[in-house]
Every structure is written in structure tokens, then in C-alpha cells.
Amino acid sequence: MKKYLITGLLVWVPLGITLWVLNLTITTMDQTLLLLPEQLRPDNLLPIHIPGLGIILTLAVVLLTGLLIRNVFGQRLWDASEKAMLHVPFVGSIYKGVKQVSDTLLSGSGNSFRKVLLVRYPHPQAWSLAFQTGVPGEVSSRFDEEYVAVFIPTTPSPVNGFYFYVRRADTIELDMTVDVALRTIVSMGVVATPETAHAQAAGQISKQD
């Protein structure tokens, strides 16, 4: 009885969470339809409600924005609008900080989250996965040794974490992709990576021999 219950949970728990996340995403994105004039909203034009149309509208707006900004006129217009926004008290500070983060994360030329490291945290006898976010500028001049800026995500929510400056000599650079590291953190190490799966298989073979 117990093994059947566990098998059923192994099927329904990931499926249920996936469906819940999809429903939450679709419902949230559909709120963008409220930006349309009431007479142009799909619920008023179609006989039935079709979920997910907000995703299509959002993608269309994003693609259209990218298309407009890519040409010379659109780029100049956006630069002028951005400069005006940066001069607005409080709003400009928030926008500038968010833009720097998004440019670093989304730009292909950025150095953020390019390396996966092991750092000693939360005590000298423990190691934690961390992402190198860059080499500190002014901060580095305050030290006699080379330091790097790292972000140590928490489990199982990697969007939260701690930001530290650590000595490069106290870090270990891993040959691991960011995607694999994130999966490991989210799953609390339960989801095996190809490397760990291979090592486990090799260990089982050696035990049989």
C-alpha cells in the first residue's frame, strides 16, 4: 500500500506543481489584456474565454518593441525617453538599478552568472555553490589580495541569497554550467546531474565487481 501511495505522489506532485505554475503564469499574463480598450478585448469579441491570449499579446508587444528600438529613429526616441526618466527623482534611481541588473543578466556580453564556484559558507568547514557576478571595482582596491563578487543562492528558491566579496584563492571554479547548478540548488541536490549519475553508476559497478 505504501509503495503505491509513494508512486502516486511521485506522479502527481511534479505534475500538480507544473500545472499550478502554468495556471498562475497564464492567469497573470492574461491581465495584460485589460490594457486593451474594452471593445477590443477577446472576451467581448469571442463567444468563449480562451486562456493564454495574454501571453500572445505580451510576446507581440515585446517583439514589436524590439523591432522599433532596433532602428535608428526608435533608438534615438528611446534614448531621449530614458534620459528624461533618469532625471525623475526616486523613479530614476530605481530604474537605473533595475536596468543595470537586467542588462547584465540578459546581455550576451555580460559576465554575470558565467562561472559556478564553490565557496566556504556558512562556516569554514562547509562548501556552497555560488555564482561569480563579476570582479569588484572600487572594492578590489581596498584589499591586498584578489577578491571576486559572488552570489550564494538559497535552496530551494535561488532568487534569494547572499552577496559577498571573497578571496579568489578561497574559491574553487567548477566545470559546471549555470543551468545544472540551478537545478541542483532547486532540487536540493536530489536531481542527479549527468556527472553524478555517471559517478553513481560507476560506483555501483565497482561494488558488483
Residues in Cβ contact with 58 at an 8 Å cutoff, skipping those fewer than 6 apart: 29, 32
pTM above 0.75, yes or no: no
DSSP state of 41: S
* DSSP H or E run through 174: strand 172-174
Q: What is the pLDDT of residue 203?
A: 47
Name the stretches of the chain with pLDDT < 50: 197-209
Q: What is the pLDDT of residue 202?
A: 44
How many CA atoms, within 13 angstroms, populate the side-chain half-sphere of residue 136? 19
Q: What is the pLDDT of residue 62?
A: 87
Q: What is the pLDDT of residue 8?
A: 87
Q: What is the pLDDT of residue 172?
A: 94
Q: What is the pLDDT of residue 201?
A: 39
Q: What is the pLDDT of residue 105?
A: 60
Terminal Cα-to-Cα distance of the chain (whole angstroms)? 35
Cα separation, 155 vs 94, whole angstroms: 27
How many CA atoms, within 13 angstroms, populate the side-chain half-sphere of residue 187? 12
pLDDT digits (tens, 9 = 90+) for 167-187: 999 999 998 888 888 888 888
Q: What is the pLDDT of residue 199?
A: 46
Q: What is the pLDDT of residue 44?
A: 86
CB 116 within 8 A of CB 129: yes
